[in-house]
Chain A
Amino acid sequence: MHPAFSVVFFTTATGAGYGLLALLGVLGGLQIVPADFWLGLVGLGLALGLIAAGLLSSTGHLGRPERGWRAFSQWRSSWLSREGVASVITFIPAGLFGLGWVFFGRTEGWVAIAGLLAAIGAIVTVCTTGMIYASLKPIAQWHSRYTLPAYLIFAAMTGSVLLNALLQGFGIGSTGVLVLSLLATLAGWGWKLATWRHNDRLEIPTTANTATGLAGGTVRSLEWPHTEENYLLKEMGFRIARKHSAKLRMLAQALAFALPVLLIAATFALPWPYAAVPSVLAAIVQFAGMLVERWLFFAEAKHTVTLYYGR
């Protein structure tokens, strides 16, 4: 599948944003992290900023963005529509939560309820994003039990690493969040390795035989219907990543998982303000690594239409 940068950035940014929003909502609402003004302003600003930037970016690949509002109408059947509805609804409790925390300086009472509702909205929205991909039967690498948990794990991972960077930066570092970000990154690494292992061994029942209805033997493409690449091949016959996938997988692992684990481990050993440096670096490096991971998620996915072209 063609990795459109707008969609790669969209899923990575909103994943991190919703992860951070959910953690701030739960940990703030339950008074586990303090109602610090700067943490509230920068933390919620960053979370909602990432979400808004991601959602705006996702409209970048639309042919008719001015009709985007129509995408809220078909939530009964379409995961994409559900994602749109969930993302907009989540802004309501998230906005109230931010109002209470930043302007009234409190995270208990109704503000806590808003925080918990925002966390639920964030989790639901990430689920809908995962289901857009997991529900597509023609793409075996996505239509698997690994896809939905991956979106949830990566949101928790990038969100917790961001939260840790913020807490360390404001000198209110929490060992609990530090441990959480380390464990979440290790979980993300493990899940990605398991996913790649699963995809590499995938035996897809759909073949050139079932695609053409020609039973038995071999079906070899002799001639395409057209001489140049068409929409189908540009959009779904993307092949560059498969050529470099081994190198890109190493790069994704180094940036998204290995380096952040080392940097978070270094944070344990350092006092404030030095602890802030590796924590912030971990968040930046991991975001870059997740962009590579998400690029591969698209580029390594093979659509059944490529069978018609002998690819």
Chain B
Amino acid sequence: MTCLPAHSDKKLGLVIDLDTCVGCQACVTACKEWNTGGHMAPLTDIDPYGGHVDGVWFNRVHSYEHTTEMGGRTVNFPRSCLHCETPACVTVCPTGASYKRVSDGIVLIDEDKCIGCKLCSWACPYGAREFDTDVGVMKKCTLCVDRIYNDNLAEEDRVPACVAACPTSARHFGDLGDPQSAVSQLVAERGGVDLMPELGYHPTNKYLPPRAHTQRAASVPAKALEPVRAEGGFLGWVDRMLSN
């Protein structure tokens, strides 16, 4: 049923730290590796070794240059499904293939019911859903629903593959509906934000903005190298000889 639950018992989701993400793409490949054999398998690749590579990915890492009056910096930005509290991708679905779970708030697709009309991908402002042209259905992040409840895995591995893979602990998983949970505390402490809050989708996942620029950083004593204008005469000859 594509009507949304009035509330979910838990709000499982991710907290992504834009301060510590180094853009290594480990979460991207770990996600692809797990999910191409998981709940929404396969994550089809089209022409993987050709000139027009395409394929389904649930998690993609962008890089941005954020420039303010305090200076500029590179921000690596992982983008995946935010498991919104009011996901329009679910309500627009005409077949009931998309749904939001009452038990934990995860947004999923029943692939056997999907007709591939693509309307859900239009309704998602974040680009979280990708169409599998090979299978003819829409696919999306499952929050690794086949890992987090998986009794066959060691308890510490019962987290989404992206979280398990992150070498800088920039990704955190937990119940954002519980104000006492570690992720909720982290969001409160670091001033975590919603993406595109003005659209009113109420995403569950939160992003921790990069920490403020420090004023205590060491100043660089050496001057930047300057280009030397080519000179003629004896000094010019010396310069050319020494440059060789």
Chain B residue at minimal CB-CB distance from A139: B122
B65 touches A222 (CB 8 A): yes
In the complex, A55 Cα to B132 Cα: how many Å? 23
Q: Is the interface of A mostly helix, strand, loop or mixed?
A: mixed
In the complex, A63 Cα to B96 Cα: how many Å? 16
Judged by a CB distance under 8 angstroms, whether A84 is at the interface is yes
B198 touches A63 (CB 8 A): no
A214 touches B209 (CB 8 A): yes
List chain B residues, Cβ under 8 A from A206: 125, 196, 198-199
State the Cβ distance, B27 to closest chain A Cβ, in Å.
Answer: 11
Judged by a CB distance under 8 angstroms, whether A221 is at the interface is yes
In the complex, A247 Cα to B113 Cα: how many Å? 42
Chain B residue at minimal CB-CB distance from A63: B116
B52 touches A137 (CB 8 A): no
In the complex, A29 Cα to B209 Cα: how many Å? 64
State the Cβ distance, B191 to closest chain A Cβ, in Å.
Answer: 10
List chain A residues, Cβ under 8 A from B25: 225
In the complex, A171 Cα to B143 Cα: how many Å? 66
B95 touches A222 (CB 8 A): no
Judged by a CB distance under 8 angstroms, whether B240 is at the interface is no
List chain A residues, Cβ under 8 A from B123: 136-138
* Residues in B199-220 with C-beta less than 8 Å from chain A: 199-201, 207, 209-210
Q: How many interface residues does chain A have, given as a range?
A: 35 or more
State the Cβ distance, B45 to closest chain A Cβ, in Å.
Answer: 11
Given contacts A213-B195, A217-B69, contact A223 B96 (CB under 8 A): no
State the Cβ distance, B94 to closest chain A Cβ, in Å.
Answer: 4
User: Of the candidates A63, A136, A212, which one forms a contact with B131 in the assembled complex, judged by CB atoms under 8 Å apart?
Assistant: A63
Which of A64, A208, A217 has the largest number of chain B CB atoms within 10 A? A64
User: Of the candidates B28, B60, B127, B137, which one forms a contact with A63 in the assembled complex, judged by CB atoms under 8 Å apart?
Assistant: B137
Residues 113-124 of B, flagged 1 when their CB comes within 8 A of A and 0 if not, give: 111111101111
The segment out of B85-93, B144-152, B158-166, B174-182 that lies at the interface is B85-93
Judged by a CB distance under 8 angstroms, whether A273 is at the interface is no
B18 touches A63 (CB 8 A): no
Chain B residue at minimal CB-CB distance from A221: B64
Given contacts A76-B3, A212-B75, A214-B75, contact A62 B115 (CB under 8 A): yes
The segment out of A112-120, A182-190, A231-239 that lies at the interface is A231-239
List chain B residues, Cβ under 8 A from A135: 88, 92
User: Of the candidates B52, B65, B132, which one forms a contact with A219 in the assembled complex, judged by CB atoms under 8 Å apart?
Assistant: B65
State the Cβ distance, A167 to closest chain B Cβ, in Å.
Answer: 37
List chain B residues, Cβ under 8 A from A229: 54
Judged by a CB distance under 8 angstroms, whether A215 is at the interface is yes
Please, could you name 28 A-B residue pairs with CB atoms under 8 Å apart, sorted by A?
Answer: A1-B122, A63-B135, A64-B114, A67-B113, A68-B115, A70-B115, A72-B94, A74-B1, A74-B96, A78-B92, A78-B94, A136-B88, A206-B125, A210-B198, A212-B18, A214-B66, A219-B64, A222-B63, A223-B62, A225-B25, A225-B61, A227-B53, A228-B52, A230-B130, A231-B54, A231-B56, A304-B196, A305-B126
Lowest 6 A-B CB distances belong to which pairs?
A63-B116, A63-B136, A217-B68, A305-B127, A225-B60, A81-B94
| Residue ranges of A at the interface with B (Cβ–Cβ < 8 Å) | 1, 61-65, 67-68, 70-74, 76-81, 84, 132, 135-139, 205-206, 208, 210-232, 235-236, 303-305, 308-309
| Residue ranges of B at the interface with A (Cβ–Cβ < 8 Å) | 1-4, 18, 25, 28, 52-57, 60-69, 74-75, 77, 79, 88, 90-97, 113-119, 121-127, 130-133, 135-138, 193-201, 207, 209-210
